[in-house]
Structures are given as structure tokens and as C-alpha cells.
Structure 1
Amino acid sequence: MKRLLFVVFLLLIHPHVKAQQFFTIGGVVKDATGKPLALATVFIDGSKRITATNDKGEFRFRDVEPGTYQLVVNMVGFYSVKQTVNVQNQHIVLNLSLKEKEETLKEVVISFDPRRAGYMALFIKNFLGTTENAAGCEILNTEILKFKENKKDNALEATSDDFLIIMNQKLGYKIKYLLRKFSYNRMSTVASYDGELIFENIEGSDQEESEWIENRKNAYKGSLMQYMRALFQGKTVDLNFITYQVSGTQTKLVDVNSFVKLIDSNFISLAFKNSLYIRYDSSATQVYQQGTHQFTSKMGNDGTLLRLYLKRATIDKKGSYVDFRSFLVKGYWGGKRIGDQLPFEYQE
């Protein structure tokens, strides 16, 4: 009886306390004929969550928080499949089908290609990045990369049939990246790539672990992930972000919270006109105290231009947006590559 009264008392003094909800993402993977596929790799893009299907083609991820996830299935001899999964208030059950690749003879390289070294240098610079964290990365299986010159678009393209294995010694992660396509336009010098990745912690000494913790903190500060999470929490200024709305060649200081609407306890929507210009600056609070109608024409290299590609963006509390097409990103965040990425499980 005393225990019951104590529980009731807690509920009365904390009426808004709600137990964290967790759900399951599971399902079956089959081939085009409906035959279950065993040992197919299933993972959640950008996370540490990875598993394999059993003899019945079944897989399951337990303890999944509400949010948006990209589920990826990959198996040798089949085309990989990616599906957006929106977890809200119930378990998710998926039926996924893989299409078998046509059998082709693997290309045999019988002579050294003098252009490959140049291709590789260009790929590493634009795929891993040029930051200190990127410099600490090494691709262990570069031989699986296939390069092609697209003469029509004056672009270098690259693909791979299997995971690229990347060791990031600066952040302490082993990354498996399933590269769908990489393209570097020689005229515009713009690089783009598409693929999915999975993180795994590297084991190290106590000193290495301490360095990785500090490096991860630095990589997180001022990142797109931190900004999106700050948006969800309504704390962009508290976390040192300054947001302007672009109008022609000028920018106007704005309260980005006015562009945010709460959908429920797990999702928000963001809608704004034109573009936002965002900087990470320790003086953010002071800047906002000076007034919300201040204009400036100064936009430095430390800022990011963010434009909505869709009418609005839906964002979850881990900083992910439901549709990957939501934003066009240029500037500081646009220059961040694989070498600076963190898994979405990361917390300060």
C-alpha cells in the first residue's frame, strides 16, 4: 500500500513525465521469387545498428526510439535496397524484396593504369574531406573502387560493388560505406556522392579513447546534426547558433523558432522562405540581445546557406529529417565529408 501511494505521489508532482517509448523494426527479406534470403546484411544508415537475416530471412532491431530511419539491405549478388522507415507509435514490420544482379564476368586489370593514382587522390579529397579528421582516415580496400570518365559531363565518376572499409583514427570509428555513386564535375569543381554507412567503435588505449571523445565533441560542435537537434529543442541561440534570413544580398537576423511547428513529442516541421544563413558563434546570445531586426551584408566562409528543397522539412529529435531531399546545403556544412561524420547515436 505504501509503495502504491508513493507511485501516485510521484505522478502527482510530475504530471508531464512520460516513459520513453521504444519500438521494434523487423521484417523478412526475400528474393524476386519469394524465397527467403539468409545472411543478408541489414543496417540502419548513419548508425551503429547492423544485423543479418536468419534462415527464414527474418531480421529485427529492438529498442528503436520514435524517429525517421533509412533501413538498408545488402547481399552479394543482389541489388541493395533502401527504405525510409517512420517510427511513431507502433512497431514496424517490413517485407523487402531483393533483385538479383545479372551475372557478368569481373573485369581483370592486366596493366597499371597511370590515371588511377590521380583519380584516387581526387576521390579521397572530395569523399573523405580536407579537415584534420579527414586526414586521419584511411580506406583499406581502395581496389574495389571503379572509376569512369564521363566525357559528356566532364566528370569523374566512381562506384563500388561492396562496402568501402574506412578507418577514422581521429574519431575512433570503423566505417563501412556502401557507395552507390560518386561524381566530381571538373568544370564546376562540385562533388556529390550517394550511399549508406554504418559505424563501429574502434578499441584503443585509455589515451586514445580520451582523444576520440574530445575530437568527437569538436566535430559535433557547430555541425548540422547539432543545429537540427537544437531546432527540435528550441535552443539554437543557447547552443551558439546565429540564424539569418537571406533577402537578396542582405541578411536579417531572425528567431528561427518562429519557423518551427510542433507535430508531436517526436517530430517538428520547419518552413521558411528564401534561404537561411547560419553561423556557429559563442557570441550568439549577445548578438540576439542587440535586436532582432539588425541587417548585415557580411557572409563569411564559416557560415552555411540552407534552402528548403521541399515545401517544409520534418525533423525528429535525433536531428534527422524525414525526406533526404528536404534541404539544399552550401558553405561550411556543405564542405563537411565522411571524415567528420558521427553516428546518430552520438550524445555530448
Structure 2
Amino acid sequence: MSLKSRLLISLLLTTIKLSFGQATFSINGTVRDDKETIPGAAIYLSGTKISTISNNQGKFSIANLPAGNYDLLIQVVGYLPYAKSIIIAGKSVQVDATLKANTVTLNEVVIKPDPNRLAYLNLFKDYFIGRTPNAKECKILNSEVLLIDYDKRNRLLTVSSNEFLIIENKALGYRIKYLLQNFEYDYKTNIVYFAGFPYFEELKGSKSKINKWNKKRNIAYLGSSGHFFRSLYDGTAQNEGFAIHKLATIDNKNRKPDSVIAKNIRLLSTGNKAINVITFNKDDSLNYWLKERSKPKSMSVLNRANVLADTLVKTYNNDLKYINFSDELFVMYTKEKETEEYRQLGFYVSRSPDMGNYQTSLINLREPPIYFYKNGNIANPRSFLFKGFWAYEKMADAVPLEFTPLPIK
């Protein structure tokens, strides 16, 4: 091959690489109210450290964004926070944001005494901030903006806010502005769900402090659900330490049917002679049926065969992939182990002793499939529930979407 041909091919490959590298887009827009444009508005991208400010004409632009799903947040004093979900798919996006005035002032707020507010607030912190070691260095600075409501009939606790929560995380070195859409805790099922828009700001610190934060950030990211979905997208889950199995729930064949159990207990109980008195005959048959009733109705069975990512992950379009599966996904991160403190908090997922005490999580599908982007962001977060380690980790262990493990100096 001639030198000229080699140079031409080299130039062509360079052009292709540059073209690929330039496949980024922007979000452009204008901030206004019902009368005029608003300069100086703070604009954030949820889950990231990316922000900007509207200019004197109320215009803004956030550039160099890859295709994906973004939540745009706008904050201006005297106005209600603004949030809009944006999908970038092949071209830049224009947003015209009209803000509404916040007509509620502190002088107009009537605070109703609630003797249970502190208890509800502590529960909210446990399930929103978490109970990990990092949570001990995490603090909500303005909990007074939280609107708390408890539905006695449905035993449902809900928490929301019309203002940004300010969270100071001294463990990871972040100050987080979080626009809480909704928090729900169901006392009947113990299911927790919360949704909102976080924005991360770096705390200032010495070089040694920043180095310490970087170490903790790496630990928080590695093995997290965000790390898992990123590796699924890239097809590197197994190489990065994730072992995936299936966990099925089946009927307990060693337990008699409910109708048979109830019939025998009824026949062997002395209901005619005394109310709520149970006697046992000489062969203790009633005790047998009471024990039978106490047996679990179902059993969990783990399939030890590895689920391969290339068979699990499907492509929806150029920017979005998804997973759909039966039973539950049993995901083990084999590069970090669970602590004894974690095991005592009720999140532990049972497994065979020979599998070790590596960080283990379950993914339970609610409204399949789960759609996700290259950065690990989930397009439909209510489509599943986490159990195990990922249910244990909350906002105290969150890092920005664009985070990548950092070299430690």
C-alpha cells in the first residue's frame, strides 16, 4: 500500500472518530413568567453537576450533551421550582419555560401542630437519606420545607415539597439540591418509593479532604445500581464484577392446602365446650396441623446458572436499551462484601453459604420492561423494586450521573 493511500485511510479514520466524538447536542431555552423574561435564573440538570444561568434576555444553553433522558430544573427566588423531562434523540432541544409565582409567603403559612411529625420525619430520613455509614455524615438543612401527611385509613405516609431540599453530605463531599416530587412509605407492605430531582455541588475542602472524598465516592459508585445498569448497557457487567442469576418463587409442596389445614383445625378444636380453647388429643394431631399452617406458602429457589448480559439486554433504539425477565434478578457484586452492620438492618438476601457474603441485590419487576440509558439513568423508575443491598443504599450514597471512578492521589 502506498504512503498516499495510508495517509488517506488514516485521515478518513480520524474524520470518522471526530464525527463520532462530536455526536453531542444542547438544550437551549428561555425562562420567563406570564409577563416578561427572567434573567439570572439557575438552571440545573437533575442527577448531575451541570448547571448554568439565564442571561439578561432570559436565555440559556447547556451544550455537549449526549443523547438521553434529562430532567431540567429551574430555580428563581419568588417562583415555584420548575421541572421538565427532556429526551434528546438525534437533535438539540428548545425549551420555553414559564415559571409561576410562589404566592405562599412565610407570613401566610399556618403550621398545624403534629405530635407525630418528628417520628415521621425520622422515618423519612431513614428511608430517603438511608442508614449506611455515609448517612451518619449526611444532614438535611431545611427539613421545615417538607410537607408530611399520614393517611390512617390506608396506613400510607407521604412527603413532598414545593421547594428544594438542601442536603449536606460531608461523607462524599456534596451539597445536594433535591426537588422532591413524592415520597411514599406503605406501613402495610413496607414498600418505599420516592422520586425527585437531585443536583450535585462540590463542597470545598483541602487536598487531603478531597482525596478522602474521592475514595469514598469510588466505593459508593462501584457495585451500585447505576454502575450495574451502565455495565449492562456497555456489555461489561461480568467483567466489572457482577454475577447475575434468577431467583424463582414457587409453591411449597411440603405444605398442605389452606382448605385442608383449616378443616382439620376446625374439627380438632373444642369449640362446643369452650370459646377459644384448644385441646390436644393423645396423638397430638392438632399440633401437627397448627405447625402445618405456620409453614411458608412459597419458597425461593435460586438458579445458579449465570444469566448472560447479551441474552438479557435488548436494544430499543440508538440511545435506549431495556431488560425484561421472569421471576427476580439476583445480582451479586463480587468485588465488595457486606458488613455485619448491614446484615443486622433487615435488608439481607438469603443465599447458600458457599456463595460468600458479597453485596447482593434483587430486582423485582412491577411494570416491565426496565428502560435505561448509557449513563445508567432509568427512564421508567417505577417499573421495578430493589431488595437487598440496593434497597439499603439511598441518597447518602448517591453520586452524579456523569461520575466515573477517580484516580486516588
TM interval, short-chain normalised: 0.7 to 0.9
Q: Please state whether the residue corresponding to 2:382 is helix, strand or coil.
A: coil
Structure 1 residue 77, shift from structure 2 partner: 5.0
Letter of the structure 1 residue corresponding to residue 387 of structure 2? K
CA contact (8 A) 1:277 1:306 kept: yes
User: Match for residue 318 of structure 1?
Assistant: 375
Q: Please state whether the residue corresponding to 2:21 is helix, strand or coil.
A: coil
Q: Does 1:57 align with 2:58?
A: yes
Extract unaligned runs of 5+ from structure 1: 284-295
Give the 3 Å change call, closer, same or farther, for CA 98–232 of structure 1 in structure 2: same
How far, CA to CA, are the matches of 1:15 and 1:30 in structure 2? 41
Q: Does 1:271 align with 2:272?
A: no
1:269-321 CA distances to partner (integer Å, 9 max, x unpaired)? Answer: 333333312111149xxxxxxxxxxxx97598942222344443332211113
Give the 3 Å change call, closer, same or farther, for CA 119–312 of structure 1 in structure 2: closer
1:250 aligned residue (301, 306, 311): 301
Structure 1 residue 110, shift from structure 2 partner: 9.5
Letter of the structure 2 residue corresponding to residue 236 of structure 1? A
Q: Please state whether the residue corresponding to 1:85 is helix, strand or coil.
A: strand
Q: Please state whether the residue corresponding to 1:303 is helix, strand or coil.
A: strand
Letter of the structure 2 residue corresponding to residue 328 of structure 1? L
User: Match for residue 69 of structure 1?
Assistant: 70
| Aligned length in residues | 332
Give the 3 Å change call, closer, same or farther, for CA 244–45 of structure 1 in structure 2: same
TM-score (norm 2): 0.71
Within 5 Å, give how 1:125-140 maps onto structure 2.
125-140=126-141
1:261 aligned residue (314, 317, 321): 314
1:28 aligned residue (30, 33, 44): 30
CA contact (8 A) 1:301 1:331 kept: no
Q: Does 1:346 align with 2:403?
A: yes
TM-score (norm 1): 0.82
CA contact (8 A) 2:81 2:163 kept: no
User: Match for residue 181 of structure 2?
Assistant: 180
Extract unaligned runs of 5+ from structure 2: 250-299, 337-349
Of 214-223 and 89-98, more deviation after overlay is shown by: 89-98
Identity %: 29
Of 213-222 and 174-183, more deviation after overlay is shown by: 174-183
Task: Provide the aligned C-alpha RMSD in A.
Answer: 3.2
How far, CA to CA, are the matches of 1:257 and 1:49 in structure 2? 32
Letter of the structure 1 residue corresponding to residue 218 of structure 2? K
How far, CA to CA, are the matches of 1:224 and 1:346 in structure 2? 13
User: Match for residue 389 of structure 2?
Assistant: 332
CA contact (8 A) 1:129 1:338 kept: yes
Letter of the structure 2 residue corresponding to residue 276 of structure 1? L
Letter of the structure 1 residue corresponding to residue 208 of structure 2? Q
Q: Does 1:304 align with 2:361?
A: yes
Within 5 Å, give how 1:1-348 maps onto structure 2.
8-11=8-11, 17=17, 18-31=20-33, 33=34, 35-76=36-77, 78-100=79-101, 103=104, 106-108=108-110, 115-248=116-249, 249-252=300-303, 253=305, 254-262=307-315, 266-282=319-335, 298=352, 302-348=359-405
Rg larger in structure: 2
How far, CA to CA, are the matches of 2:50 and 2:6 in structure 1? 38
Give the 3 Å change call, closer, same or farther, for CA 177–103 of structure 1 in structure 2: closer
How far, CA to CA, are the matches of 2:246 and 2:390 in structure 1? 17
